[in-house]
Amino acid sequence: MSHQIRLAGPSDIEALMPAAKAVQDLHSAAYPDLYRADLADENWHTHFQKSMKDPHGFVLMEEAGRGYLIAERIVKAETFFGQASIHGYLQQISVVEAAQGQGIATALVEEMKRRFRAAGYSRWTASHIATNHASAALLRKAGAEPFLVSLSATL
């Protein structure tokens, strides 16, 4: 199935809210001490507006608003042990539950990769919550492999 993916703008924010809230609900249920379950709509509006204004990032959406992706540019300075780099970063992706499994997330990631290549990036990265197995599978399917493993422990 082919999905129409396009850049999202400020007038699309309301359409993106169900997917945004779905991913926040998933994270806050798994890690209530780290993620807020009570985000107000104005917080989401601010988050999306900031991402849409980023001159080096973008917000993509599936035409019907059933899913979105936020991407940004990461600039790393050279250090004594590492090379300087500029690469793309998949900051957030979500598809409403009723539309999951239909290829929307894959279409969003493929468009993100196309835009990253067009910007001259040779690498992209992403992270996901360990309990989000759908995201892990999506990222592996898109060609991503574990690079840096982050662990967490409560005290």
- pTM of the predicted structure, to 2 decimals: 0.91
For residue 68, name the pLDDT band (cuts at 50, 70, 90): very high
Note the Cα 124 to chain centre separation in Å.
12
Any domain includes 151: no
How many structural domains comprise the chain?
Answer: 1
Q: In 3D, which of 63, 69, 20, 66 has the Cα closest to residue 41? A: 20
User: Is residue 22 predicted with pLDDT exceeding 70?
Assistant: yes
pLDDT tens by residue, 57-66: 999 999 999 9
The pLDDT of residue 113: 97
Provide the CATH number for the domain around residue 82.
Answer: 3.40.630.30
Instruction: Give me the domain span that covers residue 48.
Output: 5-141
On the CB side of 73, how many CA atoms lie within 13 Å of its CA?
17
Any domain includes 149: no
Any domain includes 58: yes
**Strand runs labelled E in the chain:** 5-7, 58-62, 67-76, 85-95, 124-126
CA distances from 14 to 17, 49, 110 (A): 5, 12, 24
Any domain includes 69: yes
Residue 31: other Cβ atoms inside 10 A: 14
